[in-house]
């Protein structure tokens, strides 16, 4: 069995904002499509606040929800720690013959996993937004750009795939 990659997937504004009052402060349908296509059929790990901000359970993907008291939901798997969530994610990926587990937010979970992720799918929105949650600061020099795909429009944004050097 090949190594299972740990990837974060996020959309962030130029000022690193990713959320405001438990919502994403922009609406970019193409980015949702990218998220769906990339994560489909893979386990996804998220913080309790991100899970509760979703419109519902996203089909075709197992949701692993981290909460200090555990999380009880009929359509999600609860984990009391990051390590427990990572172990469950990797176990599920292995069972399903997948080679990638996704971290899908939010700010707290991105921050804690930044040192251990292998790959980062980041949609960079080329303007600032107001918000209360930011993506952790990171040095782009530590990452190799695997792909870069700019979309013009309002707002303009770029899909980046980065891998840790
Ligand atoms: N733009 C994007 O790509 C994107 C993606 C995802 C989310 N977001 C946004 O991000 C915001 C939410 O992020 P957030 O940082 O506020 O919250 P979060 O990371 O989604 O969830 C935080 C919660 O996770 C649990 N947790 C965190 N670390 C833990 C650990 N080590 N062990 C056990 N439990 C742990 C705690 O739950 P308990 O309090 O239950 O213990 C904590 O309150 C929202 O605005 C959302 O819209 C944006």
In this predicted structure, what is the pLDDT of residue 62?
98
In this predicted structure, what is the pLDDT of residue 1?
46
pLDDT by 10-residue block (mean), the chain, 165 residues: 88 98 97 98 98 97 97 97 98 97 98 98 98 97 98 96 97
* Candidate from 38, 48, 134 with most ligand 1 atoms within 8 A of CB, to mutate: 48
Cα 1 to middle of ligand 1, angstroms: 31
Q: Is the link from the previous residue into 155 a cis peptide, with omega within 30 of 0?
A: yes
Ligand 1: residue whose CA is nearest its atom 26: 67
For the chain, the domains span 5-164
How many residues comprise the chain?
A: 165
CA gap 146, 165 in Å, rounded: 11
Domain 5-164 sits in CATH at 3.40.430.10
In this predicted structure, what is the pLDDT of residue 2?
61
Is residue 43 in contact with ligand 1, taking CB distance under 6 Å?
no
In this predicted structure, what is the pLDDT of residue 121?
98
């Amino acid at each position: 069995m090949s190594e299972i990659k740990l990837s974060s997937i996020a959309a962030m504004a130029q000022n690193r904002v990713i959320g405001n009052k438990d919502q994403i402060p922009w609406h970019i349908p193409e980015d949702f499509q990218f998220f769906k296509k990339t994560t489909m059929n893979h386990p996804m790990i998220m913080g309790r606040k991100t899970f509760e901000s979703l419109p519902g359970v996203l089909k075709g993907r197992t949701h692993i929800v981290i909460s200090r008291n555990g999380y009880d939901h009929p359509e999600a798997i609860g984990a009391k720690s990051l390590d427990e969530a990572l172990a469950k994610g990797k176990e599920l990926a292995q069972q399903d013959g997948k080679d990638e587990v996704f971290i899908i937010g939010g700010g707290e979970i991105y921050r804690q996993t930044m040192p251990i992720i292998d790959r980062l799918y980041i949609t960079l929105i080329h303007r600032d937004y107001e918000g209360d949650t930011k993506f952790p600061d990171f040095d782009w020099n530590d990452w190799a750009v695997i792909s870069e795909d700019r979309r013009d429009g309002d707002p303009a944004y770029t899909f980046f795939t980065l891998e840790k050097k």
